Amino acid sequence: MVSFKALLLRDLRLAFRQGGDGAMAVIFFVLAALLFPFGLGPEPEALARDAVGIVWVMALLASLLALDRLFQGDWEDGSLDLIALSPLPLELVVLAKALGHWLVSGLPLLIAAPIVASMLQFDPAGLPRLVLALALGTPTLSLLGAVGAALTLGARRAAVLVSLLVLPLEIPILIFGVAAADPAATGDGSTQIMVLGALLAVALPLCPWAAAAALRQALD
Amino acid sequence: MRLTARGLAAARGERPLFAGLGFALAAGDVLVLTGPNGSGKSSLLRLAAGFGRPTAGCLSWDGKALADDLESYRAQIHYVGHQEALKPALSAVEMLRFWSDLAERPLRDPAEPLAALGLGHKAATPCRFLSSGQRRRLALARLVAWTAPLWLLDEPTVGLDDEALGLIAGLIERHRVAGGIVVLSTHQPLPLAGVQSLSLADFPPPRPRVTAEW
């Protein structure tokens, strides 16, 4: 467990020292979401109807921002060799990396999302459900992203390739995430929340396993 | 403690590097790999670290093929590749602490390995301010930070001054006296006595057979 903690703490430390990726994801999320009133027009009813969709699509795109660097930096400077040589199984390496990615770029979104949604005239009563759906959905985004990042390791234009690879896989999360907090939907959204939880429960063991297999290929 | 290679052949991508290579190392042995650039020294060391698979032959540790029990084998090696694996934003001591925690061998006193490599005064310096020789020294400080019987060193002497060269030679000498094994590649003669040397140029791959297409 020492090695898992060491890897996670190092990633967090690097993210804070270099100041970039995490803050960038939140700023991108807020700025891009605020473009919509200009594009869609300022009618409160239209914005309120689309707010959930806007928040989710932006959260999806924000989580992609730092993804191509997830393993790339460690691979380029030789750190990944040392990580692979350590007693920590590669599956747990991926888990630590995905957790780091979520803490830096997913967790801040949970705080920013209610603010953005409110600015888009979203009904405050739906906010807890929106945040809960994001809390269950964004870790899955980070896990799926880790698979994409591992698969594109060493490829040219990895950033674009990751997006092309990961975005289609994230569609189910988008569908259930939006439905969970959609004011137009019938029911209280608890079914969708449970589906999001189930998707996370499936991704939690499967994604690290798949990404670890891809990393092994890249290291050979 | 025995590292043996039998009939080893490797390729980088499609290009064969060497073939029919063999050696047997026991406690206290130092093997120096030589050969022109691109002859496969780094590839051989990576194979010995368990990265990739040979195209023929096998490497074994204590009579067991590496792939059979990679995890416990890797716990016994120090691999210093040609890249230093340093993060510009972390300090030298943070780097060293991370490596040893990652290896599940937490350091009691990180100052000691740094001082052993003459980096005592650079402990708090972020790696982006280290010179290339100092970066090399920091990577090599791992060898002192925790013990491992087998050292695989890829060009450990690149960019080092005479003082550091002496330090490394001393470390290797002490390691072999303590019963360790060292495999290293270098273009620079190291001040070490009684080492075995292996030139990869002596194990050229067989020429690809030209097959007629018609």
Residue A18, C-beta contacts closer than 8 angstroms, at least 6 positions apart? B89
CATH value at residue B19: 3.40.50.300
B62 and B97 together in one domain = no
| Optimal mutation site among A4, A7, A79, interface B, most CBs of chain B within 10 A | A79
Residue type, A43: E
B186 and B123 together in one domain = no
Enumerate long-range contacts of A169-175, CB under 8 Å, 24 or more apart: A169/A144, A170/A60, A170/A141, A170/A144, A172/A199, A173/A60, A173/A137, A173/A140, A173/A141, A173/A144, A173/A199, A174/A56, A174/A57, A174/A60
pLDDT at A19 (0 to 100): 67
Q: How confident is the model at residue A68 (pLDDT cuts 50, 70, 90)?
A: confident
Domain end residue (candidates: B132, B147, B162): B147
B98 and B165 together in one domain = no
Mean pLDDT of chain A: 90
B49 and B117 together in one domain = no
pLDDT at A20 (0 to 100): 64
Question: Of B71, B81, B97, which has the smallest distance from its Cβ to A81's Cβ?
Answer: B81
pLDDT at B134 (0 to 100): 93
B141 and B154 together in one domain = no
Q: Sort out which chain B residues have CB atoms less than 8 A from A96's CB and list them.
A: none
Q: What is the pLDDT along chain B (214 residues), one digit of tens a residue?
A: 899 999 999 988 888 899 999 999 999 999 999 988 888 899 999 999 999 889 999 999 998 888 888 888 999 999 999 899 999 999 999 999 999 999 999 888 888 999 999 898 988 999 999 999 999 999 999 999 999 999 999 999 888 888 999 999 999 999 999 999 999 998 888 888 888 888 888 888 887 666 655 5
Cα B46 to Cα A108, B152, B180: the distances in Å are 40, 9, 19
The values of phi and psi at residue B101, to 5°, are -65, -40
Q: Give this prediction's pTM.
A: 0.91
- Taking the CA of residue A39 and the nearest CA in chain B, the distance in Å comes to 40
Residue type, B120: G
pLDDT at A22 (0 to 100): 66
pLDDT at A197 (0 to 100): 96
Enumerate long-range contacts of B197-200, CB under 8 Å, 24 or more apart: B197/B31, B197/B32, B197/B33, B197/B34, B198/B21, B198/B23, B198/B31, B198/B32, B198/B33, B198/B34, B199/B33, B199/B34, B199/B35, B200/B17, B200/B18, B200/B21, B200/B33, B200/B34, B200/B35, B200/B39, B200/B40, B200/B41, B200/B44
Q: How far apart are CA A101 and CA A65, in angstroms?
A: 11
- Taking the CA of residue B179 and the nearest CA in chain A, the distance in Å comes to 22
pLDDT at A209 (0 to 100): 97
pLDDT at B208 (0 to 100): 66
B6 and B60 together in one domain = yes
B153 and B72 together in one domain = yes
With tokens 């096998």, the residue in question is B58
Q: Sort out which chain B residues have CB atoms less than 8 A from A5's CB and list them.
A: 101
Q: Which domain holds residue B90?
A: 85-147
Counting the structural domains of chain B, the total is: 2
pLDDT at B210 (0 to 100): 62
Q: How confident is the model at residue A211 (pLDDT cuts 50, 70, 90)?
A: very high
B181 and B113 together in one domain = no
Asked if B51 and A84 come within 8 Å (Cβ–Cβ), the reply is: yes
Most confident of A66-70, A156-160, B172-176: B172-176
Q: Sort out which chain A residues have CB atoms less than 8 A from B85's CB and list them.
A: 77-79, 81-82
Q: Which domain holds residue A48?
A: 2-219
Asked if B102 and A84 come within 8 Å (Cβ–Cβ), the reply is: no
Q: Sort out which chain B residues have CB atoms less than 8 A from A82's CB and list them.
A: 79, 85, 99, 102
Cα end-to-end distance, chain B, whole Å = 53
Counting the structural domains of chain A, the total is: 1
Element (H or E) spanning B9, and its range?
strand B2-12
Q: Which residue of A has its CA nearest to B81?
A: A78
Residue type, B151: W
pLDDT at A24 (0 to 100): 83
Provide ipTM, 2 decimals. 0.90
Domain end residue (candidates: B104, B129, B147): B147
Q: How confident is the model at residue A50 (pLDDT cuts 50, 70, 90)?
A: confident
What is the percentage of chain A residues whose pLDDT exceeds 90?
Answer: 59
B141 and B156 together in one domain = no
B137 and B34 together in one domain = no
**Chain segment A13-32, per-residue pLDDT in tens:** 998 887 666 678 888 999 99
Strand-pairing partners, residue B182, are B30, B151
Question: Mean pLDDT across the stretch A81-96?
Answer: 94
Domain end residue (candidates: B104, B128, B147): B147
Q: Which residue of A has its CA nearest to B82?
A: A78
